[in-house]
Structure 1
Amino acid sequence: MKIPWLMIWIGALFSNPVTCEESAKNYSSIPTSLSKNVTKLYLSNNNITLNDTDKKVLQLFINLTELYLNENAITVLHNNTFCNLSELTILDISSNYISTIEQAAFKGLNQLSILYLNHNKISQLDSDPITSLKKLMILSLQDNLLKYFDVKASFKLITLNGNPWNCSCGLLSLQKWLNTSNVTMEHENDTLCAYPDVWNKSSIKTAPIQKADCDSRGSIAITTPSTSAILTSSLNSSNNNIRSSPPLGKTWVFLLGVLVFVLSTSLLIFFVTKFPLWYVYLISYNHRRLKEYEPEMSDKEFTTDLSTFPSISNTNEQDSIAVFEQTHTFVLDEDGFIEDKYIDDPGLTEEV
């Protein structure tokens, strides 16, 4: 009879939860020296990022039932981060910088019932990572950047306040789920619409979102144009701009021509202002006939001319004068005056 009681006591001893408190230790990664039999692990207020090294260390804690990683430096939840934690029931990764949650980030968390994602930077969250958690009862998405969220799960409690919800057609499925399921939305009166402005004081659960106001693509047909119309107008405007602009291959030729014209005009203006006489001569130029002047005979030329005469023997003085007169006849100049070589040359006058 004593042996069964001993076995029960030993079993109870080993079944007691093992808690490891490693908060505020300034860890940049999960330490490998921790006991692998731990069931509750507190790693809050550190600088853990859940990188590849942290993922490998986490896979060793197969007995974990509660993991607290709040107030760390986590930005992304990668696939298979918690894949070996099949006994985990509580996961707290709130107050981080999480902006991306990959599709298989929560793979392997088959017993997870409470998930805290509040106080992060999540702007888009697909329903697949959440709906894969079959036993999830409590989900906190408070104080994120969510505008839309399409969820298909059976929670007992959900927290969604502190997000900039867009109460348009994209939120219609969430609103329908909140009103038809048994889920309780915590802080319902504080979970308000941020868009449009006319509904900014309405709860996302009671905002007047009507299915008739939405077209088949899930956008508001009355207040906002459809995505296809915006895309078509953008394409048309871009095509018009392409047609109106000159061909790309000839643009540099046009620019070069403009540059040459501007430089030549500037140089012309510069020369006109700096050298005005050059401009005046250029404008006032007229073709004039050059004056022709008869070359005057010098003494040497005259002596040479005389020496060329044939010597005449047995001639008297009168004959010589007659020959001279015949040779040098007086010619009227263009100005009407007779050019007399004797008058001009005083030496010849004295000889006569």
Structure 2
Amino acid sequence: MKLSWFAIWAGILFLNPVTADCNITSQTVTCEESGKNFSKICTNLFQNVTKLSLRNNKISLKNSDKEILGSFISLTELYLNENMITVLYNHSFCNLTKLVILDISNNHISTVHKAAFAGLNQLSVLNLSYNAITQLDSDVFTSLISLTVLNLQHNLLKSLHIKSSFKLSRIVLAGNPWTCSCDLLNLHIWLMASNVTMENENTTTCTLPNTKEKFSIKMAAIQPADCKTGKDSLENTVTSTSAIKLKSNALLTALTPSNITGINGTHAGLPLVGKSWTFLVGVLGFVLSTTLLIFTAIKCPTWYHYLISYSHRRLEENDSEMSEQEFAADMSPFPTELGTNNEDPIVIFEKSHAFVSGEDGCTEDKDIDSYSTEKSSSLK
């Protein structure tokens, strides 16, 4: 039996020559690759490795590294501390379903994506200490159903939202710039309600806003009533703003031409939104014209009175005929006979057209008066 096991391991070593420092026992395969300046995870490792230490290297955990890690399906312990990791992307360890311990401390991690730990159903210990994490989504730990120890000390966290269903036995939160405000209320309530043990409780403090006074996270005077009032006021503000927007949208929808129909079912002639420049120019021209007329009437009363006093009367046909006869009589070169008696003396007179304007506005012809006087004397 021992010979058969030896033959199997010999075959594995022959097919996969390994230069890494790996120790093989009956139950575990441990590979120690620490402090070797690796920029990526090496591929010359046992596929059935159970404990892999890559501490103190220059690994950034890019896509190629994730693919290599995905081949170690038997891995139960992974140590990536003291490397150059800055971001934990989604599904970085999705194939490591048997992983129990994950240490990513002492890196430069600032961002942790929501599904970074997806698939780690057996993970029990997660170490994220000594990084630069500023914010963690509450769903980051949702898939970690077996997690019991969480180490977040010495990051840049000011608040942390944890769901009430999240269960831990030990948590480390010291060394973060926690703020004693309503943003910390969720964590404060969770710590008080759960049976979790917080390590370094005395040094895990929060600072009051605008002050340097520090209090223990568990003992901080964060009143739920005050936070609830602030939250309610914020919700009321959001609700009122939403209601105003809805009313505005409803009014705009009601006034659009597509929603207004005429008697015969045709659309009413309202200007379309975005195509009303012609309508606006017409209205503006009308207003300017009216304003100009009013200004002219006020500043120029003479023209205004002239326009008001002007009257037009159509000439009658009889008046035009009489005017033509009078004009013909005036232009006749010969004197007109005064009667049927041929013995009547003929009076020749010289016409001089001199028009005199009377006071009543009518023109008087002196020749007409002279002619009337001569005729009267001859008849006598």
State how far apart, in whole Å, the 2-side matches of 1:143 and 1:191 are: 10
- Cα 1:145–1:218 change in 2 (3 A) is farther
Residues 190-269 of structure 1 mapped to structure 2, 5 A cutoff: 190-196=203-209, 200-215=213-228, 218=231
State how far apart, in whole Å, the 2-side matches of 1:47 and 1:218 are: 45
Please name the residue that 2:106 is paired with: 95
Q: Which amino acid aligns with 2:123?
A: L
Decide which of 92, 95, 103 is 1:84's aligned counterpart: 95
Shift of 1:18: 0.9
Q: Which amino acid aligns with 2:167?
A: S
- Cα 1:25–1:47 change in 2 (3 A) is same
Please name the residue that 1:58 is paired with: 69
State how far apart, in whole Å, the 2-side matches of 1:167 and 1:131 are: 26
Cα displacement string for residues 69-113 of structure 1 (whole angstroms, at most 9, x for unaligned residues): 000000000011100000000000000000111111001101000
State how far apart, in whole Å, the 1-side matches of 2:25 and 2:228 are: 60
Report which stretch shifted further, 194-203 or 60-69.
194-203
State how far apart, in whole Å, the 1-side matches of 2:68 and 2:230 are: 45
Please name the residue that 1:181 is paired with: 194
- Cα 1:15–1:108 change in 2 (3 A) is farther
Q: Which amino acid aligns with 1:116?
A: N
State how far apart, in whole Å, the 2-side matches of 1:89 and 1:141 are: 17
Please name the residue that 2:154 is paired with: 143
State how far apart, in whole Å, the 1-side matches of 2:63 and 2:226 are: 47
Decide which of 174, 177, 188 is 1:161's aligned counterpart: 174
State how far apart, in whole Å, the 2-side matches of 1:22 and 1:218 are: 51
Fraction of identical pairs, as percent: 57
- Cα 1:156–1:22 change in 2 (3 A) is same
Q: Which amino acid aligns with 2:79?
A: Y
Please name the residue that 2:130 is paired with: 119
1:202 is paired with a residue whose SS is strand
Shift of 1:125: 0.3
Q: Which amino acid aligns with 2:220?
A: A
Please name the residue that 1:134 is paired with: 145
Flag the structure with more relative contact order, 1 or 2, with Cα contacts below 8 A and sequence separation at least 6: 1
Q: How many residues align?
A: 220
2:208–2:214 contact (8 Å) kept in structure 1: no
Shift of 1:117: 0.3
2:216 is paired with a residue whose SS is coil
Decide which of 53, 56, 79 is 1:42's aligned counterpart: 53
TM-score (norm 2): 0.54
TM-score (norm 1): 0.58
State how far apart, in whole Å, the 2-side matches of 1:66 and 1:167 are: 36
Cα displacement string for residues 192-219 of structure 1 (whole angstroms, at most 9, x for unaligned residues): 1123255732111110000122255549
Shift of 1:33: 1.0
Cα displacement string for residues 132-162 of structure 1 (whole angstroms, at most 9, x for unaligned residues): 2000000000000000101121100000000
Please name the residue that 1:71 is paired with: 82
Cα displacement string for residues 149-191 of structure 1 (whole angstroms, at most 9, x for unaligned residues): 0112110000000000011111111101101101001000000
Gaps of 5+ in 1: 233-352
Please name the residue that 2:115 is paired with: 104
Gaps of 5+ in 2: 9-23, 242-380
Cα displacement string for residues 207-236 of structure 1 (whole angstroms, at most 9, x for unaligned residues): 0000122255549x9xxx99x79xx9xxxx
Q: Does 2:14 correspond to 1:26?
A: no
